[in-house]
Amino acid sequence: MVDELPEFLRICHVNCQSLTAHLDEFRDYFGDSGFHVICLSETWLRPAFSDSFVSLRGYQIFRCDRQGRCGGGVAFYISNSLQANILRHSEGDGKPEYLIAKISVSNTSKILLAVVYRPPHCGYLQEFLDTFIDLSVTYKHLIIFGDFNADLCTTTFDSAQIMSFIETTNLYLVPYTPTHHTRSSSTSLDLCVIDDADKLISYEQSDVCFLSAHDLISISYRVKVARRGSCSIKVRDFRSFDIDNFLIDLEGYDWGALYQVDDVDSKVMLLNTALTECYDRHAPLRDIQPKHLPASWLTPDVRCAMRSRDRARRVRRRHKTDANYKRYKTLRNQAQAMVRSAKKEYYLNAFRDGSESTTIWRQLRHLGLLKAKNADKNLIFTLDELNEFFSSVTAGIDG
């Protein structure tokens, strides 16, 4: 069950500079963030990485990976409560990378969303801009997120091209402060462009030190979506389950009916009915609310180191002195070292000799190295082909 009260659409973007390098931290941060769409640039993903490997609970991922060389790539995660259809994506090397999608919020609200990464000093930006405008004709809601690598705080050919596009198309640039921070500078590289300023409910900007030197930028957009309340699922309650009493109850069941029917389907139905009735008595169904669980290696000590790093970065951004930078760099390196050590120890313990097989399989699924238990399992033969094969085998034995 989900609370259906409406809320406004929330979308964010961040340049993550390698999603896989920070995957556990990414899941911990965004798992309960409440964003309906999470846009990413510089994912650094490759076709060899399956979608399940970078999955985020409650979301579906859409990707456009860079081909042939390292870096780049764009993607977005969309809430399972919404739908997305990819309309265009970038092709070829040496050009801006992008995904353009139709986001379906309801039967009446369709949004044209673009996620862009323009590498430094990369041309051909006009090709993306023209493609977006051509598609926008049939949409009344337009949103562009991305890292354009063109500092809008300065006047250059690239920044002038972007501003000209915004002005001539009568779009609106969300007024963020500089989003990319180095030791000596802060620049406005990450942009959000929408069709109408009146549709902007609010906008925010925040540090995400665990990902990159880029800020997370987000908006609340004037399109209503169903509020995602607490979801509940039904599970069997085995907390008071007594296997001996269960088997006694099962033995006392009247199994005579199984011998009175001829077809297999009826026998299976009777067996399922008996088992279900016994389980209902000994392990009744109950509702639970699944929660997003953090990565097991994220211990209190690791979190404390991360908080110290984040505070140091905020101080450095307010007061850009060498001393503040050195303190931030020291705490950042300490946090990174603790993260690497905690991950290594956790996974070594999970996979070392003596670990239960169920634990190993669970960890492999968690890492995306195996399909989930509920993943589609398509047979490579039809049922008729299997039936024909086993019939022929039986005939051969009888002969």
pLDDT tens figures, 211-261: 888 999 999 999 998 776 556 678 888 888 899 988 888 888 888 888 888
Q: Is there a contact between 40 and 13 (Cβ–Cβ < 8 Å)?
A: yes
pLDDT greater than 70 at residue 393: no
pLDDT value at residue 394: 46
pLDDT value at residue 377: 46
> Binning pLDDT at 50, 70 and 90, where does residue 345 land?
confident
Query: Looking at residues 65-69, what average pLDDT do you find?
Result: 88
Query: Looking at residues 303-326, what average pLDDT do you find?
Result: 86
Residue type, 288: I
pLDDT greater than 90 at residue 201: yes
- Most confidently predicted of 171-175, 285-289, 360-364, 380-384: 171-175
How many beta carbons lie within 10 A of that of residue 241, not counting itself?
12
Query: Looking at residues 124-131, what average pLDDT do you find?
Result: 94
Strand partners for 193: 144, 173
pLDDT value at residue 89: 96
Which position has the higher pLDDT, 379 or 258?
258
pLDDT greater than 70 at residue 396: no
Q: How high is the mean pLDDT of the chain?
A: 85
Q: Is there a contact between 324 and 315 (Cβ–Cβ < 8 Å)?
A: yes
pLDDT value at residue 230: 56
Percent of the chain past pLDDT 70, that is, above it, reads: 83
Closest of 174, 177, 175, 193 to residue 113, by C-alpha: 193
d(CA 371, CA 357): 16
Query: Looking at residues 180-192, what average pLDDT do you find?
Result: 91
pLDDT value at residue 144: 98
Question: pLDDT tens for residues 4-39?
Answer: 456 899 999 999 999 998 888 899 889 888 999 999
Which position has the higher pLDDT, 362 or 149?
149
Poorest-pLDDT segment among 75-89, 159-173, 278-292, 305-319 = 278-292
Q: Could you identify the residue written with the tokens 């190993």? A: 360
Give the contacts of 1 (CB within 8 A, at least 6 positions apart). 229, 231, 232
pLDDT value at residue 363: 67
pLDDT value at residue 399: 44
Q: What is the pTM of this model?
A: 0.72
**Domains defined along the chain, listed by start:** 7-225 (3.60.10.10), 233-288 (no CATH)
Query: Looking at residues 122-140, what average pLDDT do you find?
Result: 94
pLDDT value at residue 260: 85
Query: Looking at residues 48-55, what average pLDDT do you find?
Result: 89
pLDDT value at residue 193: 98
pLDDT value at residue 310: 87
